[in-house]
Structure 1
């Protein structure tokens, strides 16, 4: 006769529950270790054992909340106080529930460790809106499975072990024949369930104290030294659960008086041009992932002056252009770049176009110039509707939109054979298509193009695979290819009759893979080029020792043209703003970064966490409390945040609203 264990007694289900929940915590811990190893280059800077323990300790709180939320049904089923449930079938159902829930959580965490380098944040529910128009995700996903085969093996082994290690209670209702025994079982499990309720509430909220508010993603900042480290503290199930149906924008009350707020900062521009409005053509090129790190002309100091970069054609363009030593993007995703570059709206908290505020009234440089008689057109080599760019273009005043299908229908070009198999038309042919279509626009015109080739899975056309070889990271060969395509575009454009009367602006949507520590810091992650090229020579070229950002592009272009009507932009006109007054702002994992006066201030919404000299490229020396400018910077970033939030919530993204 088989010897009975505690799992055969009435305590069996409770003991099994505790042991299995402990296993769930272990799986979250394993996923966090894997996350660290997968993103070691981004997260290992100055990583001491004590700091690592603090982050893992903080991670336990977020794991606890995720486990409580995802195991509520399981806990209820295991502690349900009726003996009638104690059958092998019932506990098999409980086992399946436990394994499926935790297998999904584990796999989601593994998958997000691969996606994290492109976003620097844990995935939230906005990802479902971001990619809901994409038809190529299956191929991208399959490629990632192949590239990260070791994670597939880890997932398979982990789920198999989870099934094997699951503790199954062996309590049988037949072993309790008397009414008294059944009532005793019911009594015990009623007490267990009653005790579990406050524990679950505390676990879900992050604590039971009266002063404790339910923990959010932003709480991860208390365990980190750098905003990017929040990714290690958090887990993806928590990030997804905490952003379901949540209000994105909350208006702070830093300034009680609107008059005082307006005096510190206002996004409403009332320009006073020094010349009459001149109808120059405007061409804006947004290059996928084309970070400042890759461009040799911006990095003559890198690698002790030996660094050449990967962009000989863009280097030549920089020599003829007005550029900025400290130039930044305002977000980490493509959908962040669009409103920043074209509308002067940065990304705070969540991508603007994925929030309810995207239904507000607002416009772009296309909408503004369209009212001045410009013909406007937006170009994107992907499928029509990809990334929501078609809807965005329509919303912001672009009169025409051209995508992959339009390229395919144009008999002058290569059609579908120029499709890269993943995202859209290769950059070289699509930029030539853009040049041809520009020539068909009525002058004056405003047009923008978003490229696709310098993007994961980092491939180049077959005919260039032996020309643009692998660099230090996979994207380098794509950067070389796209640089060549840009060079050919400007070579062709320079021969067109509209060229001399055209103002060109080039930037990237965001940055991407890095191989230099200077570009892996919290600020380095946002280092994008701002290149303004005027073939007429009216905009004087040269490297400016100043700060610039994507949201400066619209006011700067309008300033160059001499536009004289009010408009909204959170950036400034780089031509008329003194160099010491230009600034940059971005948001990373609950922390606002404000760059001005030669410093970088990191503000979590309540207090300043860090302050670095802009020349401290590795962000090693925290100067909080040591710089007189800190208080002024805090006043300004608070005003920017409050203006942003209240205008989003109250639909005031247009002058006069």
Structure 2
């Protein structure tokens, strides 16, 4: 008899958990119905009859990740209320309150999803928090909303029916307070509830982030691009509660009024590039290596004056390559994160204020080097040895025009290589084998091709393959052995590439995504910590002449420089310049650090807080010890130029103007 009662108490203790599972499943169904309504309301905009059942299933499957995140965020209070491990909450009044919270919260979410199906045709994207600024000064919103409610009465009816169903189908636990009068029963209940809450917390974190696997950052609205064939389809993959939640506090782009209008700013700086004279098409292959954490500091050939001229660095293979390449006396990254490097290198979009791909502007209409070249007859592919979707690179690569993406899973399925035995256990496939895979894949691509590869091995936790641990020993910093390993991998890649028929008809560009650990003071300064290599290698030595150029280069110069090299003759938008054709005195670099814009030009680094200049330093002052504010003739000129760049950037981000006007 006691066993039966104990079993009954266990069953009752599981009741809140079962109720939560059933009710959350009900929310998933509500989101699914709202998405179907969104599709039907915007059928023609989303492709209409061209949408196949297979593609729709892919879109709806991808949507589950974003629905899970939104459901976790919005229902977290309800879940905690239900699973709170205190026995005295099990009475009717408390569960009526839980039911009310559940229905109200999810009714609001349903309303935003249904409302956005009406608003979508005007924006072609899910509503973000920018909507509150967009309509902040409108006085006729109530009338507009009333009109739309009347016109879309069927959505109002659907809303009412679904809210009624939520209320009716809501599951209430059958446990009551009197079932836990004994201390032993309370103990059983508390233990079960505590474990349930712990499991729910773990699952909730995974759901909110979009996964717990290594290398995955919390998903943002830009991650929807990995599931779509056209950017407009992101609206079907996303949901409005998620878009709102993920952009709270992310309205980082505010258009300043340094100049009275965009035209005035354009007279000082104009990011739209138009060919003013006929160019000779020179459709060489383009290969870009974005090397993880490959700071300029580690490269001996770029630091011949370091340590009294005795510095060897950690990159003998890249040093050898530099002897046959075009490099620059000053070169910089435009951001501090991997997700900053991708837009900078491939789209000529620097990081200002927040990583571009984490802001609502990432859903604007724009393209990059692969998209421009794809439309110009190139075949394009992006390579990243990590899991598909890691760092959001799959989504971003599709957004900017890469036709194919190759990651860890693609490497593992290629029988010519070592499969998952070459997985580093943290981020992805070791650089040495993955670079060989990269070379092999390019052998099968139609020329001309444009490819980019993002390496993974020179990354925290700074480990290398066991077979190299006695070869590349610890340096002064943990990253040094990884740099040595990746340098070796790059050397072996070029050994393989030189044997290929496409090699001499290819322009290679090597840069880093950002910098990393440093042990030299000049690389720890405000501008020094952005110092990254920009290496342009032309094996034929005919299109790009080798040598050190006394100029400034940056990641955002790569796209315009490449386009000029190959004779691209269509308009495009870039915040960098063609660093080979621009006079050395006019080359520049941009960065943003803790609220300070940095502008390198004319031999100086200007620091600007958005309102005023706070410092100006000579590039020769490598430790940035002498603030020359007010004592440099070009300070005012640099400030005007930087203000024009910032205003152009902010205006184009806020107003979706990242493509050249027709």
Provide the TM-score with structure 1 as the length reference. Answer: 0.64
Change (3 A) 1:132 1:641: farther
2:320 to 291, 316, 320: 316
Does the 8 Å CA contact 1:366/1:376 hold for their aligned counterparts? yes
Distance 1:244 1:446 in 2: 37
In the alignment, which residue of structure 1 is the partner of 2:249?
Answer: 245
Distance 1:414 1:472 in 2: 32
Matches within 5 A, 1:531-610: 531-538=535-542, 539-610=544-615
The alpha-carbon deviation at position 246 of structure 1 amounts to 4.0
In the alignment, which residue of structure 1 is the partner of 2:649?
Answer: 644
Residue 515 of structure 1 aligns to a residue whose secondary structure is coil
2:643 is the counterpart of 1:635: no
Distance 2:249 2:577 in 1: 34
In the alignment, which residue of structure 2 is the partner of 1:405?
Answer: 409
Does the 8 Å CA contact 1:273/1:559 hold for their aligned counterparts? no
Distance 1:129 1:310 in 2: 41
Distance 1:349 1:490 in 2: 37
2:655 is the counterpart of 1:655: no
Task: List 4+ stretches of structure 1 deviating above 2 A.
Answer: 127-134, 241-246, 271-275
Residue 573 of structure 1 aligns to a residue whose secondary structure is coil
Change (3 A) 1:424 1:273: farther
Distance 1:394 1:243 in 2: 22
Matches within 5 A, 1:253-292: 253-272=257-276, 275-292=279-296
The alpha-carbon deviation at position 275 of structure 1 amounts to 3.8
Residue 330 of structure 2 aligns to a residue whose secondary structure is strand
Does the 8 Å CA contact 1:344/1:550 hold for their aligned counterparts? yes
2:425 is the counterpart of 1:396: no
2:504 is the counterpart of 1:500: yes
Distance 1:488 1:435 in 2: 10
Does the 8 Å CA contact 1:134/1:387 hold for their aligned counterparts? no
Does the 8 Å CA contact 1:360/1:651 hold for their aligned counterparts? yes
Matches within 5 A, 1:198-217: none
Change (3 A) 1:579 1:130: farther
Residue 466 of structure 1 aligns to a residue whose secondary structure is coil
2:621 is the counterpart of 1:616: yes
In the alignment, which residue of structure 1 is the partner of 2:302?
Answer: 298
1:210-247: CA deviations, max 9, x gaps?
xxxxxxxxxxxxxxxxxxxxxxxxxxxxxxx9994341
Distance 1:308 1:517 in 2: 17
2:334 to 301, 309, 330: 330
In the alignment, which residue of structure 2 is the partner of 1:517?
Answer: 521
Distance 1:279 1:606 in 2: 44
The alpha-carbon deviation at position 325 of structure 1 amounts to 1.0
Distance 2:583 2:630 in 1: 26
Gaps of 5+ in 1: 1-126, 139-240
1:432 to 432, 436, 448: 436
In the alignment, which residue of structure 2 is the partner of 1:135?
Answer: 213
In the alignment, which residue of structure 1 is the partner of 2:196?
Answer: none
1:487 to 480, 487, 491: 491
Change (3 A) 1:622 1:443: same
1:116-156: CA deviations, max 9, x gaps?
xxxxxxxxxxx999975661269xxxxxxxxxxxxxxxxxx
Distance 2:364 2:211 in 1: 22
Residue 350 of structure 2 aligns to a residue whose secondary structure is coil
Q: When the two structures are aligned, how many residues end up with a matched partner?
A: 430
Change (3 A) 1:129 1:632: farther
Gaps of 5+ in 2: 1-204, 217-244
Matches within 5 A, 1:25-104: none
The alpha-carbon deviation at position 509 of structure 1 amounts to 0.1
In the alignment, which residue of structure 1 is the partner of 2:112?
Answer: none
Distance 2:418 2:250 in 1: 46
Distance 1:318 1:129 in 2: 46
Residue 267 of structure 2 aligns to a residue whose secondary structure is helix
Change (3 A) 1:382 1:270: same
Distance 2:314 2:460 in 1: 17
Distance 1:398 1:608 in 2: 40
Alignment RMSD: 2.0
Does the 8 Å CA contact 1:375/1:446 hold for their aligned counterparts? yes
Change (3 A) 1:303 1:555: same
In the alignment, which residue of structure 2 is the partner of 1:181?
Answer: none
1:358-385: CA deviations, max 9, x gaps?
0001001100000111100000000000
The alpha-carbon deviation at position 576 of structure 1 amounts to 1.3
Provide the TM-score with structure 2 as the length reference. Answer: 0.63
Does the 8 Å CA contact 1:418/1:426 hold for their aligned counterparts? yes
Change (3 A) 1:419 1:273: farther
Does the 8 Å CA contact 1:273/1:563 hold for their aligned counterparts? no
Distance 1:472 1:132 in 2: 37
1:273-301: CA deviations, max 9, x gaps?
66411110000000000000000000000
In the alignment, which residue of structure 1 is the partner of 2:531?
Answer: 527
2:349 to 337, 342, 345: 345
Change (3 A) 1:246 1:481: closer
Residue 391 of structure 2 aligns to a residue whose secondary structure is helix
Does the 8 Å CA contact 2:215/2:427 hold for their aligned counterparts? no
